[in-house]
Structure 1
Amino acid sequence: MSRSSIVRRNIVKRSAVLAAAAAVGAAAFLGPQAFAGQPDTTTSAALQVSAFAKGPDPTDQSIRAQKGPFAVQQQSVAAQSGRAFNRGTVYYPTDTSQGTYGAVAVIPGFLEPEFTTSWYGPTLASYGFVVITLEPNSITDFPEPRSNQLLAAVDWLANESPVKDRVDPNRLAVMGHSMGGGGTLLAASKNPALKAAIPLAPWNMSSNFSDVTVPTLIIGADNDVIAPTFMHADPFYESLKGNQNQGYLKLKGADHFTTNGYTATVTKFAVSWLKRFVDDDTRYSQFLCPAPSPDASFVSFKVGCPV
């Protein structure tokens, strides 16, 4: 064999050894999935989890449960002269080891006392939020005053309440049923710094909320005769959908009051929405986007992806 042939053979062998070493090094760095030709989703997913994320990795089954992973306590809030909202109840996780929590204010609808939507308090708190459920100033209040009560309550929760040390004042959200849902949309319009809004079977005289930039999930009911979706939820969403991060869940076989009691579907979407936008926890994006197909519990779910 000529000297030039020997040199070429040695170069080829040395190159092969270096390539093999590089491949082994890459596998050690990127993990076994990358070595097998798959992306390293474990590393990228870990980098995407927000500093505000709390609780175990969610599953479709876990987020349908009425009780989440956190133990909860509650405290009554008495009416107080000069305060912009009435009495209510605060629910909060007992765990103080994981930093502060996002906060949510919930208000019921026309002629409804606090207890009609009180189930959201312990349920949402058990998923890692501080929640206040409200008695309206008057059960006959229209959406406008309800919006002001929601904003006052969530501000009080973060800055003056006995549990303010558990609340991150920069991560606040609002929810409401019927006229409280209309109030929720108005509150989101008034305060774009809110992280999320969830109107439940919303009712409002105006149907244009195109100025709302807060991530908003409307939950409507296909058999609602009090706030028919074609008059309320549908046009509300149509006015919203041009903005980023707006969603619309239409429940199947549901009436105006379905959202006033626990259902697995409402819990799944409400928890996912709050976790995604209040906690910036992208582990919950999988339950929102791509939009899941309808099942026996809902007619449709619309959302602008990605979320």
Structure 2
Amino acid sequence: MSALGPDSCALGPHATGKQDAQHLCNNASFASATIYYPTESGLKSLPSVVIVGGWGCGEQAMAAWAPFYASHGIVAMTIGTPSPFTDSPAVRSKALLDASLALQGEHERADSVLRGRLDISRRAVQGYSLGGGGAQLAALADPTLKCVIALAPDGGYMFPSKHSLSFPSPPPTAVPVLILCGDNDEEAPPKKFGWPHYRQTGAAKLIFEVEGGDHYTPLGPAGGTKHQAEAGSMSMELWCVNCSTICACWMCQCPLALWCTPCPCATLNGPTGHAADRAPRGAIGGVALAWLRLFLLDDETARSQLVLRPDIASGFECSGIEAPLAMDRS
């Protein structure tokens, strides 16, 4: 029985607050931001994680993760990018790194709720889908990050090579990487993306493949669903407009239509998988939190949890966590 089961996606002991952070969006790489933080003023030296979504995602698509982390003592900031339907993993990587550095300025800003409360050296990033590819690129670009989390990662191979995820040889070993994915993901199949990314990562690493999980499963700590995500997202009419716009670009023989064509439509913005006292797929949140506890909070007790294969895993492997390797997928 894994220590990280259905109850491990519950909210933590800290009350949380939320603050619009549009004042941080002076850099063109991210267009919106929201900070989630523990409200107790006595909590100091707080680490932080910045979170970005995937193709077509606005920042609220990641809104289930941020209060979960904040309730466990980790400042979390969700961000939205200017062109969510067309930006690549490289664009999302830059957005994550720019936003992470901008967030650290709240430690000194006079009117900030985080003034004097951040540990600016303890930073992490997390991304979903194409944002998961972006998170791994961020790990390659900035060795000062303490760790990254890639949810259902997509390398962005439909984009020009300089905008997609590729690994140098040998890959850097500085930034630990956690990959969370579902074995039934048809949009970013783990055999094509998650597992090859894991095997090419040179740092401490862990991959957790959820049995029966699809592309929506890692959208929140309790396990997201496609129905909930679509319920809070754009209308079908806007989807049709978006598809028509892209198809028109392809008919004009633009091979980079998905990359360079700005999309005027609304974004996929339905949060799903919110923290719960008990959820069948609660180990998703438990493993992600344990990863941040180990590398952001220096909580050594998380090591023994991270090497235990969750009951809902169809595939699970870790390396470089200084503990016996968990069983590889068959």
> Does TM, scored on the shorter chain, surpass 0.5?
yes
| Alignment-derived partner of residue 99 in structure 2 | 153
Whether 2:253 is the aligned partner of 1:292: answer: no
In 2: Cα distance, 1:256 partner to 1:139 partner: 17
| Alignment-derived partner of residue 170 in structure 1 | 121
- Report how far residue 265 of structure 1 moved: 1.2
Whether 2:183 is the aligned partner of 1:222: answer: yes
| Alignment-derived partner of residue 195 in structure 1 | 146
Q: What does 1:230-269 align with in structure 2 at a 5 Å threshold?
A: 230-240=191-201, 243-263=202-222, 264-269=282-287
| Alignment-derived partner of residue 14 in structure 2 | 70
Q: Can you list the C-alpha shifts for 1:124-172, whole angstroms capped at 9, x where unaligned?
A: 0001111101112211211111001101111111124622522111000
In 2: Cα distance, 1:63 partner to 1:84 partner: 37
Q: Which residues of structure 1 form unaligned runs of 5+?
A: 1-58
| Alignment-derived partner of residue 133 in structure 1 | 78
Aligned pair partner of 1:116 in 53, 61, 67: 61
Counterparts in 2 of 1:60 and 1:259: CA distance versus 1, 3 Å = closer
2:147 touches 2:177 (CA, 8 Å); kept in 1?
yes
State the one-letter code of the partner of 1:214.
Answer: V
- Report how far residue 98 of structure 1 moved: 3.4
Aligned pair partner of 1:87 in 32, 39, 61: 32
| Higher Cα radius of gyration | 1
In 1: Cα distance, 2:61 partner to 2:50 partner: 14
Identity %: 32
In 2: Cα distance, 1:84 partner to 1:168 partner: 24
- Report how far residue 285 of structure 1 moved: 1.4
| Alignment-derived partner of residue 16 in structure 1 | none
1:93 touches 1:125 (CA, 8 Å); kept in 2?
yes
- Report how far residue 81 of structure 1 moved: 4.2
Please report the TM-score for the alignment, with normalisation by the length of structure 1. 0.75
Please report the TM-score for the alignment, with normalisation by the length of structure 2. 0.70
Q: Which has the higher contact order (CA 8 A, sep 6+)?
A: 2
Name the SS for the 2:138 alignment partner: helix
1:208 touches 1:235 (CA, 8 Å); kept in 2?
no
Name the SS for the 1:286 alignment partner: helix
In 2: Cα distance, 1:84 partner to 1:111 partner: 15
Choose 195-204 or 243-252, whichever is displaced more: 243-252
2:221 touches 2:286 (CA, 8 Å); kept in 1?
no
Q: How many residues align?
A: 244
Counterparts in 2 of 1:123 and 1:152: CA distance versus 1, 3 Å = same
Q: Can you list the C-alpha shifts for 1:97-128, whole angstroms capped at 9, x where unaligned?
A: 23211000000001111121111110000011
Name the SS for the 2:116 alignment partner: helix
1:110 touches 1:178 (CA, 8 Å); kept in 2?
yes
In 1: Cα distance, 2:37 partner to 2:46 partner: 9
Q: Which residues of structure 2 form unaligned runs of 5+?
A: 158-164, 223-281, 324-330
